[in-house]
């Protein structure tokens, strides 16, 4: 089992040391602003985890909570204020946004030099051109995780199930990039793909990121391959105090018997996402002071 939590803690501890050095040199520390719209319970708990991690690392984190019915223009006005605020080095808008808001328009209103989620067209374009600035935290976390477990990407066949701008597409760009942690042959599958098993069964590494439990079943996985499960699904569980538990997009128990390595949910990719976000915020601060 791949212990993403342990790897993430070690990265966060080194970051803490880096932030303390930054404080000594610049007499200032990185600041992240998280914009949270509405009351989506999953979003609230993700934001709390980000806030806690920032605090531990010595990064300032301000969470701006806006009402569910905030208008698009009000939200963009607030983002523009943050774009101009010299004290704010990085910002993220917690997704998903309420349906009435144009998510794409709002993301694109974030200044690319503060876009620590790496979702603006400028940052995704830089990633595609091999000149990345901010890479979305989850795919970056998956790449770092693969490196930490000594999974060789160069020359390997990697199948990614899911083609979102947040996970699948940037991950495919990263893993196929001409770089030490890339150089893989990457296949992307999605909801219109036919016979996904014919791809996954030949893969050295399978990454699943669909948001649907049981997308990856044991019969789809080659013996001794590596499985990275990005999915986070809440399912009802009356034995739990909060009434639910989290599962991924793969059949963990069955695949665990076949694969050489697999990430658990929770405790796999999730903690890596947080560590990479903190890295991006630190990078935003350093880019700002070196301007
Ligand atoms: P998304 O935007 O909904 O994209 C899902 C992708 O999966 C789409 O490309 C979709 O195909 C594809 N898909 C859906 N059903 C499929 C199926 N049965 N077979 C093959 N492909 C299928 O979701 P996302 O933002 O990428 O997130 C995916 C999952 O990762 C979610 O569970 C999310 O909560 C989780 N996540 C976790 C973290 C973390 O830190 N652990 C971070 C981000 C996301 P089409 O393009 O054809 O619709």
Are 27-112 and 137-269 the same fold in CATH? yes
Q: What is the value of pTM for the model shown?
A: 0.97
Ligand 1 center to residue 171 CA distance, Å?
12
Q: Tokens 């620590």 appear where? A: 116
- Measured in angstroms, how far is the CA atom of residue 265 from the centroid of ligand 1? 15
**Secondary structure letter of residue 2 according to DSSP:** -
Of ligand 1's atoms, which has the minimum distance to the CA of residue 210?
7
Average pLDDT over residues 99-105: 97
Residue nearest to atom 18 of ligand 1 (CA): 191
Ligand 1 pocket, residues with Cβ under 6 angstroms: 138, 161-164, 166-168, 189-193, 196, 209-212, 215, 230-233, 269-270, 273
- Interval between CA 161 and ligand 1 midpoint (Å): 8
36, 43 Cβ separation under 8 angstroms: yes
User: pLDDT tens digits, residue range 133-169?
Assistant: 999 999 999 999 999 999 999 999 999 999 999 999 9
Ligand 1 atom closest to the Cα of residue 163 is: 9
Please, which residues bridge with residue 115 across strands?
91
Domain extents in the chain: 27-112, 137-269
The fold of 27-112 is Rossmann fold (3.40.50)
- How far is it, in rounded angstroms, from Cα 13 to Cα 163? 32
CB atoms within 10 A of CB 222: 17
Determine the Cα–Cα distance for residues 115 and 107; give it in Å rounded to an integer.
9
What are 114's two structure tokens? 């503060």
- Write out the catalytic residue numbers: 50, 94, 117
What are the pLDDT digits (tens) for 276-291?
999 999 999 999 997 7
Question: 51-63 in b/e burial notation, b at 16+ Cβ within 10 A?
Answer: bebbeebbbbbeb
- Residue 167: exposure state from Cβ atoms within 10 A (0-12, 13-18, ≥19): buried
Residue of 97, 110, 102, 126 lying closest to 37 (CA atoms): 97
Give 13-27 pLDDT, tens digit per residue.
999 999 999 999 999
Q: Which CATH number fits domain 137-269: 3.40.50.720, 3.40.50.880, 3.30.750.24, 1.10.1060.10?
A: 3.40.50.720
């Amino acid at each position: 089992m791949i212990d993403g939590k342990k790897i993430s803690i070690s990265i966060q501890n080194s970051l803490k040391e880096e932030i303390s050095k930054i404080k000594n040199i610049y007499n200032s520390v990185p600041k992240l602003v998280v914009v949270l719209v509405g009351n989506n319970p999953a979003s609230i708990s993700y934001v709390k985890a980000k806030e806690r991690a920032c605090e531990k690392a010595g990064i300032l984190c301000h969470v701006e909570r806006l009402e569910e019915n905030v208008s698009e223009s009000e939200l963009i006005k607030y983002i523009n204020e943050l774009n101009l605020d010299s004290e704010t080095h990085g910002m993220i808008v917690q997704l998903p946004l309420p349906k009435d808001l144009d998510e794409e328009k709002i993301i694109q209103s974030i200044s690319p030099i503060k876009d620590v989620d790496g979702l603006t067209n400028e940052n995704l374009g830089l990633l595609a051109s091999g000149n990345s600035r901010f890479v979305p935290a989850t795919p970056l976390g998956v790449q770092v995780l693969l490196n930490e477990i000594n999974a060789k990407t160069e020359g390997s066949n990697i199948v990614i199930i899911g083609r979102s701008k947040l996970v699948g597409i940037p991950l495919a760009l990263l893993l196929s990039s001409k770089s030490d942690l890339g150089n893989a042959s990457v296949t992307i599958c999605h909801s219109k793909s036919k016979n996904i098993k014919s791809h996954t069964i030949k893969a050295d590494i399978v990454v699943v990121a669909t948001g649907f439990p049981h997308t990856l079943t044991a019969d789809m996985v080659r013996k001794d391959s590596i499985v990275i499960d990005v999915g986070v699904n809440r399912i009802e569980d009356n034995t739990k105090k909060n009434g639910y538990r989290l599962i991924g997009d793969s059949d963990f128990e069955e695949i665990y018997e076949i694969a050489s390595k697999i990430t658990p949910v929770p405790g796999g990719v999730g903690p890596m996402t947080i560590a990479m976000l903190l890295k991006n915020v630190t990078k935003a601060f350093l880019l700002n002071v070196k301007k």
